[in-house]
Amino acid sequence: MDIRLLAGIVDAVVALWLVLLLVFWLLRPKGVSVRELVRIVPDAVRLIRGLVGDRTVPADVRAVLVALLVWIISPVDLIPEFVPALGPIDDVIVAIVAMRYVRRRLGIHELRSRWQGTDDGFAMLIKVMGTG
């Protein structure tokens, strides 16, 4: 294999990785601390588990949530977990994108009716997902 071709492939992969890092940084939830996010994780997991197990929820929503769980559990990451501060950001961004899709498909009222956590926790979830 030609060394220039190999170098070009490596350069392209690094460039793609840097672009994805920038996109993840721009999409991160602003004004929300990691501590606040961590507090709602158990309730969010209960919500996701309930939605995945409910056959009245549209199949595409359940498929997105299953894909989200597979992504989070998967050891393969765009940003390795050991990278300080950036490691879990790809998981967070994928979760936000998936939950925004769920919010658009089901609506905030449907999500609220299924939320088992506190009102403050749900407000945080909505803030992270965005209302637009």
Read off the pLDDT band of 114 (50, 70, 90).
very high
Number of domains in the chain: 1
Instruction: Look at residue 84 and tell me whether its pLDDT is greater than 80.
Output: no
Q: What pLDDT shows up at residue 34?
A: 66
Q: What pLDDT shows up at residue 27?
A: 65
Q: Which residue has the higher pLDDT, 57 or 29?
A: 57
- What is the average pLDDT value for the chain, to the nearest integer? 81
Q: Which residue has the higher pLDDT, 65 or 127?
A: 65
- Residue whose pair of structure tokens reads 């597979």 in the numeric block: 70
Q: Which residue has the higher pLDDT, 109 or 93?
A: 109
Q: How many CB atoms lie within 10 A of CB 89?
A: 19
pLDDT in tens, 33-82: 767 777 888 898 899 999 999 999 999 999 999 999 888 887 776 666 66
- Asked whether the whole model's pTM tops 0.85, one would answer no
- ∠ CA 113-37-82, nearest 5°, is 140
Q: Which residues span the domain enclosing 108?
A: 3-129
Q: What pLDDT shows up at residue 104?
A: 93
Please count the residues of the chain.
132
For residue 115, the SS3 value is: coil
Q: What pLDDT shows up at residue 111?
A: 95
